[in-house]
Structure 1
Amino acid sequence: MRGKAGRWFCSLACGVMLPFTAAAFWYSTILPDWLRIGLALLFPAFFLVCLLWGGKIRLTGCAILMAGFWGWYLTDPPRNDRIWAGEYAVPADARVDGTIAHVSHIRNFTYKTETDYKSAYYDADYDLDRLSGMDLVTSYWAGDAIAHVFLSFSFSDGRHLAISIETRRQKRFSYSTIAGFFHHYELFYVTADERDLIGVRTDIRKERVYLYHLQLAPATERRLFLSYLAEIHALNTQPRWYNTLTDNCTTGILQRADARWRYRLDWRVLLSGYTASLAYDLGFLDHRDNFATLQNMSLIRRPEGSRPDADYSREIWENRP
């Protein structure tokens, strides 16, 4: 009986590991590429051989292969020294001195097309005592269920700082949604001017973008902004892996906000297109209208042929609730 249970467990484990190891190696950052592709093909093949073999070889082979795979996967380190795609090449940094936040390398690209742009960055100081609001941005690029979610911080002097938790993509790879489930992307906080970060979505990619003003206590807004700045600084020396399920654009916001686990596990976190409705139910959005009405009013409508210019932030807030 014990032998049958062992064989059953081994077969189940190897069956699960076949596709997982193939994908993990295929989407890994191993160089050279021939080694990455070879491991993606050969490692699952070894599991398959163990499944077909009998006796102690099956158990021993499965154990060795699983120990070898997890030994590599769990110690595979994220890095900051790769050859990055242009939009992720220069990370922001931040430090706080008293009530002044010094933010460097704020992205401010000018786009002709999504792939044809002029790179530009600037440094700026922000007075924490002038932090006046926080806005939730949801950008839809794949139907109603999936959206990219990020925050923009407003200051009483009229400036805005948008921060988006994203995948840091290498230049040699094209974007893949599936790759985000494995060690493929490092975590990256795009810290940018609204003209860049929101404008590229509304005017260049033609995505459906909503801008919601969050109703939070000033102390909460300040704590969340400082948490973002601390993480931006930490990632410069302590890189982390992005993960579509556990460490993505939406879970990152909830983690920075110290949200309770029951909110982090809400189905609307995984299906990020419904994150704004979750914020509404939690009382973080204006309740003078029902959510459908608020959502309709929060849609950013841009004239045909618009390009984000210096007045972009003012323009997108005109007639917004």
Structure 2
Amino acid sequence: MIMALLTGLLGLGIALATLWGALALGHRLPLPRPWRWGGVGLWLAAGSGWLWLAWQGARLGPLAAMAVQMAALLTWWRRLTPSKDLAWAEDVAHLATGEVEGERLTLHRVRHFDWQTPTEARGGWERRTYDLRRLQSVDLFVSSWGRPGIAHVLVSFGFSGEGPGEEAFVAFSVEVRRERHERFSEIGGFFKQYELAIIAADERDAVRLRSNVRGERVTLYHVTLAPEARRDLLLALVAAANDLERQPRFYHTITANCTTLMFAMMRQIIEGLPLDHRLLLSGLLPGYIHEHGGLVDGYRLCELRRLGDITERARQAHDAPDFSKRIRRGVPGWCD
């Protein structure tokens, strides 16, 4: 009985190592496609051979062979480093960077695209300046596309103007930094296929892309942070963006994505925030924030979700100059 159990565990270990190695080579082996798939085939053949020997009763030989094979693969894997200068896709061509002088925040390369299709846009990147004394709001946008628990999260900061209707909003988005020829793959996100990007964008760019162009459902939640915490969160995002510009990182589907990076920053500001499975499922993030008192008080989560669904309002306000004001009408925490 014990020997059968050991054989089963050995076989499972070899099978998992073979599968992981095949996926890693398939996504990152720097060879033309035919040669890359040839390398994957050789890896699978070797792993299958060790697995067959294990099921025939051999133990030390298959274990040692697989260990040597994995050691060689991991040596190569650890030497892979993220890139800074590649032919990036237009929407992630520039990373956000910023600097603070007194109460003046200057953000370089704020994206202001007017999207025509999910892949084509007019517009560009510009420098924008904000008065930190006028920082008055933090909002969470959650954009979903039908996969349970999966969504993209944006954080938007609002600044009051000197007169009515002069508010300014800038949205930060943690995204996959793809090359022009690449398409996003959740599986590839586990295997160092993409770099990480922090983008600063006009709300009319970042929100309309998702609600009006891609047809996603977008929900807005007003976050009830104290003024000092709002400022700290914004400056933490700017600092993280500056660090990323200096030292690129790989995107990771679980450990380095839009939700986990935001949580790491929030944990620096609000002590005692616990880890939670909802940090891995970004579509459930509002429930986590609501549970810890971060959303508008007096509403159940389902009410906040219903009242915060801005999808239709965003489509109706598509070209309106007061787009950000219109999408907030009726959202708890915001006046009409």
Normalised by the length of structure 2, the TM-score is 0.87
Residue 309 of structure 1, CA deviation: 4.5
Residue 79 of structure 1, CA deviation: 0.9
Alignment of 1:51 onto 2:75 = no
Which residue number corresponds to residue 277 of structure 1? 287
Which residue number corresponds to residue 172 of structure 1? 181
Closer/same/farther in 2, CA of residues 189 and 237 from structure 1, 3 Å limit: same
Q: Give the alignment partner of residue 227 of structure 2, picking from 215, 218, 221.
A: 218
After TM superposition, the structure 1 = structure 2 runs for residues 72-83 of structure 1, keeping only pairs within 5 Å, are 72-83=76-87
Quote the Cα distance in structure 1 between the aligned partners of 2:171 and 2:29: 29
**Structure 1: stretches of 5+ with no match in the other structure:** none
Closer/same/farther in 2, CA of residues 307 and 35 from structure 1, 3 Å limit: farther
User: Considering only aligned residues, what root-mean-square deviation do their CA atoms show, in Å?
Assistant: 2.6
Which residue number corresponds to residue 289 of structure 1? 299
SS of match in other structure, 1:286: coil
Identity %: 32
SS of match in other structure, 2:145: strand
Which residue number corresponds to residue 164 of structure 2? none
Quote the Cα distance in structure 2 between the aligned partners of 1:143 and 1:10: 35
Which residue number corresponds to residue 312 of structure 1? 323
Quote the Cα distance in structure 2 between the aligned partners of 1:26 and 1:263: 38
Quote the Cα distance in structure 2 between the aligned partners of 1:29 and 1:261: 42
Quote the Cα distance in structure 1 between the aligned partners of 2:330 and 2:215: 20
Amino acid at match of 2:297: H
Alignment of 1:103 onto 2:107 = yes
Residue 179 of structure 1, CA deviation: 1.4
Range with bigger deviation, 173-182 or 23-32: 23-32
Q: Cα deviations across residues 107-127 of structure 1 (Å, max 9, x unaligned)?
A: 111111112211411111122
Q: Give the alignment partner of residue 302 of structure 1, picking from 289, 294, 313.
A: 313
Q: Give the alignment partner of residue 276 of structure 2, picking from 255, 262, 266.
A: 266
Quote the Cα distance in structure 2 between the aligned partners of 1:261 and 1:242: 26
Closer/same/farther in 2, CA of residues 66 and 124 from structure 1, 3 Å limit: same
Q: How many residues are paired up?
A: 321
Quote the Cα distance in structure 1 between the aligned partners of 2:263 and 2:29: 28
Closer/same/farther in 2, CA of residues 98 and 5 from structure 1, 3 Å limit: farther
Range with bigger deviation, 171-180 or 9-18: 9-18
Alignment of 1:146 onto 2:150 = yes
Closer/same/farther in 2, CA of residues 36 and 90 from structure 1, 3 Å limit: farther
Alignment of 1:89 onto 2:88 = no
**Structure 2: stretches of 5+ with no match in the other structure:** 162-166
Alignment of 1:240 onto 2:244 = no
Normalised by the length of structure 1, the TM-score is 0.90
Closer/same/farther in 2, CA of residues 52 and 147 from structure 1, 3 Å limit: same
Amino acid at match of 1:299: D
Closer/same/farther in 2, CA of residues 172 and 303 from structure 1, 3 Å limit: closer
SS of match in other structure, 1:96: strand
Quote the Cα distance in structure 2 between the aligned partners of 1:274 and 1:231: 24
Range with bigger deviation, 35-44 or 153-162: 35-44
Quote the Cα distance in structure 2 between the aligned partners of 1:178 and 1:108: 30
Residue 258 of structure 1, CA deviation: 1.7
